[in-house]
Amino acid sequence: MRECSRLSRRAVLGLTAAALPVSLSVSESGAPAYAAESTGVVGGEQLARKGVQVRGAAGVPKKLTARSWVVADADSGEVLASYNAHQRLAPASTLKMLFADTVLKKFDRARRYQVTDADLADVPSGSSLVGIKPGITYTVDQLWQGVFLRSGNDAVHVLSHMNGGIDRTVAEMQQRAEYLHALDTHVVSPDGFDHPGQISSAYDLTLFARAGLKDADFRAYCGTRTADFPAGGKKTFQIQNTDRLLTGAYGLTPYEGLIGVKNGYTSHAGNTFTGAATRGGRTLLVTVMHPATGSNAVYEHTAALLDWGFTHGSSARAVGTLVEPGVPATARPAPAGGKAAAADRASATGATGSSGLRVAEGAALTALLLGGGTWAVLRRRRGRTASAAAGVEAGVAGGAGAAAAAESVPAPKEPKESKEPKEPKETESGGRHRR
């Protein structure tokens, strides 16, 4: 009887401790990084609402066909406007921002590395490539140019193998995403290629960009327009950044003040883009995912939202915030409403529901377990029977099972086939590597 009671109290205390940190995360400085609101939505409850979210400012562009977008202040972290910010969608090559956030500082830029066949053996067919060849020696700096400028999956895979392999890199990226509170993101491959279950959100991609831009090397690479890339021997060829707002390619005008960050395309995701621009001492971040039509639409949407932010953003009251990094949070963001979100939830069989539900479950479980622990102590004092003690044990075990079930987050199924579109050779006057 006595041992049974001790076990029950330990189970109660352990499960209670696990349930308590649902709504609080701690930053590196030791201060709370953010407190989830009553719904437990990362960045604030309003970011989980369907449709356009804006306060105190007019003129938000109306002819946008993207399934999700976010406008945020890079310095303050305030989200000025959003549309389905937490909707989970295929990220395409914008996921390379998280790859860079994770791996960029691990290798000296001057380090030289000779590529092997094994380094390129697992690059998916149909990938975007910078043109890396086995047997050629590249500097780490050149490999990162291949990642940022040409969105080269071959460069990503070489760096991943240098980092200990694809699986290790994926695991580290997932850990980094959780540290950044990017809880919509599930990493399957480091390159952003279409794989079942590889998802992110406009909110999470904006977190990746904001974190990356704080690093000088990341900022320099994403703002580089052209570079000379090794072709073997003493030969080189020019590569140009695929960010059309940066280079002005395909009929677009370069966006004034643009400093990066990353574009992406796959046949499943369509076009995705996170852009950052600085005007008048203010830097804004915009992420746009899955516009309905046109390869230039993602850039046109981004330019329109940046224009709105610089024109009207000063009067906008925040609808949410880009949370600060810290200990991985347990609260999950609620998917936005609407038919598209319902379809996403249907495809992600068994995926987590609203974070509000999970916070409520955690609070209810905590109260239940604390109550159970108190009852167990009184039971001992009153000399309850062994059968009553067994009932307490069964109740605690049931609560633990429910908590474990609530943490299960299976990934949605997505088509395997993917190919980035072939584009004509891009050129730019100047020709040399510029940052």
Return the number of other C-beta atoms located less than 10 Å from residue 33's C-beta.
17
User: Do the Cβ atoms of 77 and 395 come closer than 8 Å?
Assistant: no
Which one is catalytic: 8, 96, 262, 355?
A: 96
All residues at 6 or more sequence positions from 96 whose CB lies less than 8 Å from its CB, including other chains? 147, 148, 151, 156, 190, 191, 192, 262, 264
Among positive and negative, which fits the CA dihedral 305, 311, 312, 313? positive
Which one is catalytic: 25, 93, 160, 200?
A: 93
Element housing 258 (H / E): strand 258-266
d(CA 306, CA 140): 33
d(CA 431, CA 429): 6
8 is an active site residue: no
Residue 88 carries which side chain, given as an amino acid letter?
R
d(CA 330, CA 407): 9
82 is an active site residue: no
The neighbouring-strand residues paired with 237 are 229
Element housing 35 (H / E): strand 32-35
User: Do the Cβ atoms of 247 and 225 come closer than 8 Å?
Assistant: yes
The neighbouring-strand residues paired with 113 are 138
151 is an active site residue: yes
Nearest to 33 by CA among 174, 179, 172: 179
> Torsion over CA of 357, 358, 361 and 366, rounded to 10 degrees?
-140
Which one is catalytic: 151, 189, 355, 418?
A: 151
The neighbouring-strand residues paired with 186 are 199
Tokens describing residue 64? 């946008």
Nearest to 64 by CA among 277, 305, 237, 248: 305
Distances (CA, A) of 226 to 54, 117, 118, 220, 238: 37, 27, 28, 12, 7
Nearest to 240 by CA among 77, 397, 374, 424: 424
Catalytic residues: 93, 96, 151
